[in-house]
Amino acid sequence: MGQVTKIEHPLVEHHLCRVRDCESRPGEFRDAVQRLAVLIGVYATRDLPVQSVVVRTPLADADCQQLSVRIGLVPILRAGLGMVDPLQDLLPDSAVWHLGLYRNEETAEPVGYYDKLPNTGAPNVALVLDPMLATGGSVDLVVRRLMKWGVDEIRVLSIIASQAGLERVNRDFPDVKVYVAAIDPVLNDQSFIVPGLGDAGDRIFDTPQQG
């Protein structure tokens, strides 16, 4: 499907069990999210450009390669925060820029509430982090904002995406690469992914909604 990469790996399947299981405790859920973020992050960065350098080991010079682009991590608040630490472990020189969106429960559409992106200094590559890609509305807003900022290349990293959400992103942003651990076929009447994993933000931060 277009620019979508669904990551096939036994460890991905194993940790997906933990995030889908409603019996997983918050700590188990967070740990599984972070492990999945590492696995997705490795795939999402495998074709980043590098440049040749020579470094000195304790014994001799060594020909090496290092990243040649500036990378920014853009977690969509708040659930995307659960994916930041493992990505920064992989990319310790990356900057982190936050965009805050909340879900209008009546319309299921995202509403922006936080944006502190500067006018200049956009990274070459932005990795958008959001555990769930449901309708694609949040990604739509974020991608448009990053394009306006001047980011050269945008990649989206999600744990579970809906078929409809991926089709929307592919249609509206054919150059944006999306990396996911699972693709679920259905959105319910409240635009939640089914079977999905519930509300990722509530499960990461242990803030269950009151009925």
Residue 134: both structure tokens together? 């449901």
Dmax (CA) of the chain: 65
Residue pair 36/15 in contact by the 8 Å Cβ criterion: yes
5 is catalytic: no
CA 106, chain centre distance (Å): 25
- Residue 100 CB neighbour total at 10 angstroms: 16
203 is catalytic: no
Catalytic residue among 25, 89, 107, 175: 107
207 is catalytic: no
18 is catalytic: no
Residue 195: both structure tokens together? 């079977």
Catalytic residue among 31, 115, 140, 199: 199
Residue pair 172/140 in contact by the 8 Å Cβ criterion: yes
For 68-105, the three-class secondary structure string (H helix, E strand, C coil) is CCCEEEEEEECHHHHHHHHHHHHCCCCEECCEEEEECC
Catalytic residue among 103, 130, 135, 184: 103
Residue pair 185/162 in contact by the 8 Å Cβ criterion: yes
Query: Which residues carry out catalysis?
Result: 103, 107, 199, 202
